[in-house]
Amino acid sequence: MMKFKETTLKDVWLIEPTLHGDERGHFLEVFREEYFREQGVTCTFVQDNVSVSKKGTLRGLHYQCNPYAQAKLVMAIEGEILDVAVDLRKNSDTFGKYFKAKLSSKNRTMMLIPVGFAHGFSVLSEEATVYYKCSQYYNKESERGIKWNDQEIGIDWEVKNPIVSEKDKKNINFMDIIPSDLF
């Protein structure tokens, strides 16, 4: 079984899988379609990715425009991250708001981020390996990004002097998103 916990953003879920452990270690299910469907989650995952990053790395905030928009199921399989989702659904009550949670290899919590959200994370441990499932293939032409330090959103990433890619340094402010890129 998996425990699905609602967050402050509609359709963003924290998911706690059941750990089955003994003296050898533990086992858990990361994804089981029937459990997700019971919560109304009907996306089909088509691509799995792994990201390895050192402490202080900040990746994001990323999203893809329609028709290549992605839902993501994110899990830290090693280390600890601060995972963040920002609501880009223009008719949502929480448009422009964010939710963040610590995901780690200790708590095994996952975050489900549906289509219509930007996503990013910062690395809190010495190193983190992040595994995530995507509901759409990566498409370079539809890729977009919001500045990680956008003051309109105001996220505390819990890292000082984050390591940010050159590409992410060129991301735009939230207020500068082209309306047709919203959901």
What DSSP letter does each residue of 106-135 carry, written as one string?
TT--EEEE-TTEEEEEEE-SSEEEEEEEES
Is 26 an annotated catalytic residue?
no
User: Token digits for 130?
Assistant: 């992040």
Selected catalytic residue, list 20, 35, 132, 138: 132
153: number of CA atoms within 13 Å, CB side? 29
Q: How far apart are CA 72 and CA 74, in angstroms?
A: 6
As a whole number of Å, the CA-based R_g of the chain is 16
Selected catalytic residue, list 62, 68, 119, 138: 62
Map residue 181 onto helix, strand or coil.
helix
DSSP annotation of 163 reads: B
User: Token digits for 22?
Assistant: 């003994």
Cα 142 to Cα 89, 160, 181: the distances in Å are 16, 30, 9
Prior bond to 67 cis, omega within 30? yes
Is 62 an annotated catalytic residue?
yes
Catalytic annotation, residues = 62, 132
